Structure 1
Amino acid sequence: MKVLITGSHGQVGHCLAEQLKNKAEIFAVDRDELDITNESAVNDVVSQFQPDIIINAAAHTAVDKAEQEEALSYQINCDGPLNLAKAAQNIGAAILHISTDYVFSGDKDDIYNEEDETNPQGVYGASKLAGEKAVADACPKHIILRTAWVFGEHGNNFVKTMIRLGRDRDQLGIVGDQFGGPTFAGDIAAALITIAEQIHAKNEICWGLYHFSGTPHVSWHQFAQAIFEQAKSQSVLNERPQLVSLATEEYPTPAKRPANSKLNCNKIEQQFGIKPSDWQNALKRIQHYA
C-alpha cells in the first residue's frame, strides 16, 4: 500500500506518519515539501509517487485568524483538497479527507448525524464545508471524516494549553456551555488507517461522509477538570487550579464556536468497525503532553 500524507507536521498528520511507517510505503509531506494549493506541484508529486491512497491532514485550523484570512482559509481548506482529489481521480487513487464539526451551526439540541443540515457560522467552517463538497465532486472514491476537539502529544491543542496555564495560575475560567467529544489525534490516525487498509484489501467500501470523535461528550469546563485530575495524579502539576465555569458570552472570540459539537459516530462503527475515540484513556499518558 502506497500512501501520500499531507499536513505531516500537524497533530493528525504526525500520528499518521508514525503509525503507517511500518505498515505501508509512505510519502509524508508538509507545506514546506508540498504546497497543496499549487495544482501543478500536487500533480507532479502524485504522478511521480503514484499513491494508492491520499490522506489529506493539511488544513488552516486557526479558527479566529480565519475571520481575517478568508482567502487563505479557502485556498488551504478548499482549493488544496480539490487539487488532491482531482490528482487522486486522475490516477485511480482514493482520497481520505479530514473535516470538522464547525460545518454545523451548533444550535441543534440533539447529536449531529452525517445527514443533518450544515450551516457554518464562520469562515473556518465555511471553508471546510466548501472543501468537503469539492473533494466529493472531484473524486468518487472519497472518505470525508468529520471530527472535533482534537488533541495529542504533537502540536498545539487544548490539553497542552491547560497544562501550561495550570502551572502559572491558581484560577482559570473555562467555557461551560459548549459541548462536544474530545478526540485523540492518534485515534483519528488509527481510524483513517483502518479505512485505508480496507480500501487496499479491496473490501466493498461505502464511500462518503463519516463522523468520528470522542465519548463521553463533555463541556470544555468538564474536559479541563479531567485534564487537571490526570495532571495532578501523574505529578505533571503539583496543584490543580480552581476552575470557574463561564458562559460563552463571558469569553468573546472573533469566531463563533458551536454550542453543540456532539457527533454521532454510529455510521463509522457499523461500516468499518471503528469505535469512538476514548479520550479519557488518552489522557492517562498526560506526561507526554507536558
Structure 2
Amino acid sequence: MFPSVEDIEGLEEVILDREEDALDKEEDQDDAVEGIGELGRSRRRGRRRSRRGRRRTSRKRAVRRSYNAGQRSTAVKTGLTTQLTSKGQFELRRQQLPAEIQKALKDARMQTVDSAIYTVKSIKDKSDIDLMEASDDKKAGRTNLNRAQLDSGKYFLLTDIVLEYAHGASEEDNDPADFAFGQFALPAQILNGTFEMTLGTKVILPEISCAVFDDTDTTKRKFLYKLSNPKWLKPSMDITPKLNMPKAINNSDKVFNPAVKITLLGTVTEKA
C-alpha cells in the first residue's frame, strides 16, 4: 500500500542528518587547520543549526508536494494496484465507505477480514440460473449467506469471483454438498455461456463470457476471475449473480445432477 507521508519524511530526515553531520565534520576539521578559536566555532555552529532547520523545513515541504501529487496520480495508483492484495484494494478505497464506517474502523470498533461468500446451485435441466436468491438460507454445503444479502453494517469489497462445476457419479448421487467442486473442467455449455452480476439494480459485472473462468492460467487459482475494477457489495441489497447457458445440461452418460458453486472473494468489515 501507499507508504505514509510520515514514513517518507522520517527517511528524508535521516538522510538529511547524515548529510549535515558529514558537513559539520568537514568544517570542524577545516576550522582546526585554520586555527579558528572556540568563539568562532560556536558562531559557525549556530549558523549551521539555522541552515539545518531551513533545509529540514524545505525538504518536508518538497516531500509533501511530491507525496500529494503521487496520491492524485492515476498512473501511480494504477502501478501500485497491480499486485495489491484484497486488503490493499480495500484500504485504497476506504474513503468511499460511509463516514460512520470509516470512523468505526479508525476507532478499532470495526476491523477488516478476509471473506469468501459461496453458494451451491443445481443446474440440471436449466439454462438460466440465479446463483444467489432471496430464498437462500445459510446451510453448510449450500451457502453461507442469508437471503442473498450482506448483514446490516457489513461492506464487502469484491476482488475475485470463482465459478466451479461438479456432478454426481449416478442418478442417486444428487446432493451437491457431497460433490468435489474444483475437480471438474467447466463443460462447453458453461464456457460458451455468459455471467453477469448486479447489486440491487446496480450493475457489478455486465454480461461477460464464462470463458473468463477457464482454468488454463496455471499461475492463479483454478476457475477464478480477478476483477480489474473491484466493486463494493453493500448491506441489505440483493446480490444477484446469474449464469446463462446456450443449452441446459441434462443427466447423461457419467454426468448426473450437474451443479455449480460460485465463490465471491474479498475483504469485509466486521465488529472488532
**After TM superposition, is the score higher than 0.5?**
no
Structure with more relative contact order (C-alpha pairs < 8 Å, separation 6 or more):
2
Larger Rg: 2
TM-score, normalization by structure 1: 0.27
TM-score, normalization by structure 2: 0.29
Q: Which has the higher strand share?
A: 2
